[in-house]
Structure 1
Amino acid sequence: MYNRPRFPLPGEQLRQSQTQANEISSGSQTVPVNRDTQIKQASLDLISATDPRGILPQKIHALTPPNFNNGCSIPTNKFYGNLLLPKGQELPLWTHPFSLWYSHPDHSVCVSYTSQNQRVFDHEQSPPQFYFNPVGIKSIMFSVENISNSSMSIHTLTHMSCQIDLVDSQLNQPLIQFPLVQGAGFITALYKYYPNRLLRTCIKSMVGFRTVTRQTAERYEIVLNDNKLWYLYCNDSTLDLNLTNPQTIVSSREITRDTSIQVTVWESDPSLIPQLDQVAGYYPTNCEVSPLTNSLSNLTGYCLNYTISGYSSQSSPPQCFIYALPHHMDHISSDFIARHSTNSYVNSTVSGTMTGFITDKLIIDNDNYLYDLQAMKTMSFHPFGLKSNPPILDSGKMQLIKEAARREITEANIMDESNLDSMYFSGKVLAKYAWILYSTHFILRDLELTNILLSKLQRALDRFVSNTQIIPLNYDMSWKGVISSTNEPLKDFGNSFYNDHHFHYGYFVITGAIIAKVEQSLSGQSSWLQQLRNKDWIECLIRDYDNPSSNDPWFPQFRSFDWFNGHSWAKGLFESGDGKDQESSSEDVMSVYAVKLWSEVTNNQNLENIATLQLTILKSSINHYFLYTDDNTTEPSQFIANRCSGILFENKIHHTTYFGNNLEYIQMIHAIPLLPVSASIRSSTFVRQEWDQILSRIVDNINDGWKGIIMLNVSLCDPYRSYSFFSNPQFNKSYLDGGQSLTWSLVYSASLLSMQGGR
Structure 2
Amino acid sequence: MAFSTPIWLGAIMLMAIQCLTGAQALHCLSDFDCIVDIGGADDKFFTPVTQLPPTTVQVLATGSPGKYCTTLERDVRPSSQPFPTEIVYATFEERIGLLHPGFPHLDIAPYSILISNSTCYYKEEPCPGLPHVEETRVAPWLRPKSTSVLGTFTVTVTKTRSRTDCTPYPITGSQSKLFPTGTASLYPFPTTTLSHSSPASSGTSIPRPPVMSGQNVFEPISTDPIPANIPARNDHPLQKKNIWDTPGPVSTNKFYANFFIGSQANYGFVHPYAVGWAKGSAPVKSDGLVISHIEADKLAFGNKSDTIPGNPVQCYINPIGIQAMILSASELDNSTVLSVSKPLAFSADIILQPQSNSTSNVTFPLVQGMGFVTGVYTNLQPAIQSGVFFRELASAAPPRPGIFKYRISLENSTTWLIYVTPENGADPKLELVDNGLIRGPTGFKGTIQIAKNPKGGAGETIYDRSAGVYATAANMTGAVSASDKRGSYKLAWEKAGKDVNSTQLLMFALPHHVQSFDTATQGMKTDMLMRTTTKGMATACVGDSWTMVEEDLPIDIGFAPQILGSGTTDLSEAAKQKIKEVAPNELSQDIHQQTNLDSMYFSGKALAKFAMLVYTVRELAQDIPLSESPFQTLKDAFKTFVDNKQKFPLVYDEVWKGVVSSGTYETGDPGLDFGNAFYNDHHFHYGYFILAAAIIGHFEPSWIDANKVWVNMLVRDAANSVSGDALFPFSRGFDWYNGHSWAKGLFESIDGKDQESTSEDTMFAYAIKMWGKTSGDASMEARGNLMLGILSRTLNNYFLMKSDNVNQPKEFIGNKVTGILFENKAEHTTYFGANLEYIHGIHMLPLIPSSGYTRSKDFVREEWDAMFSEQASTSASKVQGGWQGVLYANLAIIDPTASWNFFAQEPFDLAKVDGGASRTWYLAYAAG
1:371-415 deviation per Cα after TM superposition (whole angstroms, max 9, x unaligned)? x33xx2223222239899762222211100111122321x22101
CA contact (8 A) 1:441 1:518 kept: no
Which whole-Å CA distance do the structure 2 matches of 1:681 and 1:485 have between them?
A: 34
Could you say what secondary structure the match of 1:52 adopts?
coil
Change (3 A) 1:10 1:587: farther
CA contact (8 A) 1:382 1:389 kept: no
TM-score by length of 1: 0.89
1:124-149 deviation per Cα after TM superposition (whole angstroms, max 9, x unaligned)? 53311100000011111112224443
Q: Residue in 1 aligned with 2:496?
A: 309
Change (3 A) 1:653 1:390: same
Post-superposition offset of 1:7: 5.6
1:283-682 to 2 correspondences below 5 Å: 283-292=470-479, 300-312=487-499, 316-333=501-518, 335-337=520-522, 339-365=523-549, 369-370=550-551, 372-373=552-553, 376-384=554-562, 391-409=569-587, 411-487=588-664, 488-519=669-700, 526-531=701-706, 534-682=707-855
Post-superposition offset of 1:275: 2.7
Change (3 A) 1:447 1:146: closer
Which whole-Å CA distance do the structure 1 matches of 2:620 and 2:782 have between them?
A: 27
- Unaligned runs of at least 5 residues, structure 2: 1-58, 60-68, 82-205, 281-285, 306-310, 399-403
Post-superposition offset of 1:612: 1.7
1:113-132 to 2 correspondences below 5 Å: 113-125=293-305, 126-132=311-317
Could you say what secondary structure the match of 1:206 adopts?
coil
Post-superposition offset of 1:76: 0.6
Post-superposition offset of 1:10: 7.0
Change (3 A) 1:359 1:389: closer
Post-superposition offset of 1:72: 3.6
Which whole-Å CA distance do the structure 1 matches of 2:653 and 2:272 have between them?
A: 34
CA contact (8 A) 1:5 1:493 kept: no
Q: Residue in 1 aligned with 2:453?
A: 266
Change (3 A) 1:390 1:432: farther
Could you say what secondary structure the match of 1:657 adopts?
coil
Could you say what secondary structure the match of 2:812 adopts?
helix
Which whole-Å CA distance do the structure 1 matches of 2:685 and 2:495 have between them?
A: 37
CA contact (8 A) 1:379 1:387 kept: no
Could you say what secondary structure the match of 1:274 adopts?
helix
RMSD over equivalenced CA pairs, Å: 2.3
Letter of the aligned partner of 1:575 in structure 2?
Answer: E
Indicate yes or no: 2:265 matched with 1:90: yes
Q: Residue in 2 aligned with 1:254?
A: 442
Change (3 A) 1:174 1:157: farther
1:165-219 deviation per Cα after TM superposition (whole angstroms, max 9, x unaligned)? 11121643341100010010100111114xxxxx321111111111111111322
Q: Residue in 1 aligned with 2:369?
A: 183
Q: Residue in 2 aligned with 1:11?
A: 80
CA contact (8 A) 2:337 2:354 kept: yes
Change (3 A) 1:399 1:727: same
Q: Residue in 1 aligned with 2:421?
A: 235
Indicate yes or no: 2:110 matched with 1:110: no
CA contact (8 A) 1:28 1:43 kept: no
Which whole-Å CA distance do the structure 2 matches of 1:441 and 1:643 have between them?
A: 37
Letter of the aligned partner of 2:738 in structure 1?
Answer: N
1:93-149 deviation per Cα after TM superposition (whole angstroms, max 9, x unaligned)? 111111111122222111111111111001353311100000011111112224443
Change (3 A) 1:189 1:272: same
Letter of the aligned partner of 2:891 in structure 1?
Answer: V
Could you say what secondary structure the match of 1:260 adopts?
strand
Post-superposition offset of 1:530: 2.0
Which whole-Å CA distance do the structure 1 matches of 2:215 and 2:711 have between them?
A: 28
CA contact (8 A) 2:218 2:722 kept: yes
CA contact (8 A) 1:28 1:41 kept: no
1:528-549 deviation per Cα after TM superposition (whole angstroms, max 9, x unaligned)? 1121xx1111111111101011
Letter of the aligned partner of 1:407 in structure 2?
Answer: N
CA contact (8 A) 1:160 1:286 kept: yes
Could you say what secondary structure the match of 2:752 adopts?
coil
Indicate yes or no: 2:422 matched with 1:244: no
Which whole-Å CA distance do the structure 1 matches of 2:442 and 2:344 have between them?
A: 33
Q: Residue in 1 aligned with 2:252?
A: 76
Could you say what secondary structure the match of 2:776 adopts?
coil
1:145-167 deviation per Cα after TM superposition (whole angstroms, max 9, x unaligned)? 24443111111011110000111
Which whole-Å CA distance do the structure 1 matches of 2:397 and 2:481 have between them?
A: 45
Which whole-Å CA distance do the structure 2 matches of 1:535 and 1:146 have between them?
A: 55
Could you say what secondary structure the match of 2:361 adopts?
strand
Indicate yes or no: 2:867 matched with 1:687: no
Q: Residue in 2 aligned with 1:211?
A: 392
Q: Residue in 2 aligned with 1:201?
A: 382
Q: State the identity as a percent.
A: 36
Change (3 A) 1:384 1:318: farther
Which whole-Å CA distance do the structure 2 matches of 1:515 and 1:412 have between them?
A: 18
Could you say what secondary structure the match of 2:811 adopts?
helix
Which whole-Å CA distance do the structure 1 matches of 2:911 and 2:239 have between them?
A: 44
Which whole-Å CA distance do the structure 1 matches of 2:723 and 2:566 have between them?
A: 35
Post-superposition offset of 1:441: 2.2
CA contact (8 A) 2:347 2:474 kept: yes
Which whole-Å CA distance do the structure 2 matches of 1:109 and 1:6 have between them?
A: 38
CA contact (8 A) 2:217 2:782 kept: no
Q: Residue in 2 aligned with 1:22?
A: none
CA contact (8 A) 2:487 2:786 kept: no
Could you say what secondary structure the match of 1:173 adopts?
coil
Post-superposition offset of 1:285: 0.5
Bigger mean CA deviation after superposition, 599-608 or 144-153: 144-153
Could you say what secondary structure the match of 1:723 adopts?
helix
Which structure carries more helix by proportion?
1
Could you say what secondary structure the match of 1:11 adopts?
coil
Which whole-Å CA distance do the structure 1 matches of 2:70 and 2:366 have between them?
A: 29
Letter of the aligned partner of 2:346 in structure 1?
Answer: M
Letter of the aligned partner of 2:80 in structure 1?
Answer: G
Post-superposition offset of 1:48: 1.0
Could you say what secondary structure the match of 1:235 adopts?
strand
Letter of the aligned partner of 1:50 in structure 2?
Answer: D
- Unaligned runs of at least 5 residues, structure 1: 13-24, 31-37, 194-198, 520-525, 752-759
Which whole-Å CA distance do the structure 2 matches of 1:71 and 1:277 have between them?
A: 33
Which whole-Å CA distance do the structure 1 matches of 2:745 and 2:481 have between them?
A: 37
User: How many corresponding residue pairs?
Assistant: 705
CA contact (8 A) 2:690 2:768 kept: yes
Could you say what secondary structure the match of 1:536 adopts?
helix
Which whole-Å CA distance do the structure 1 matches of 2:719 and 2:861 have between them?
A: 32
Which whole-Å CA distance do the structure 1 matches of 2:70 and 2:492 have between them?
A: 36
CA contact (8 A) 2:471 2:493 kept: yes
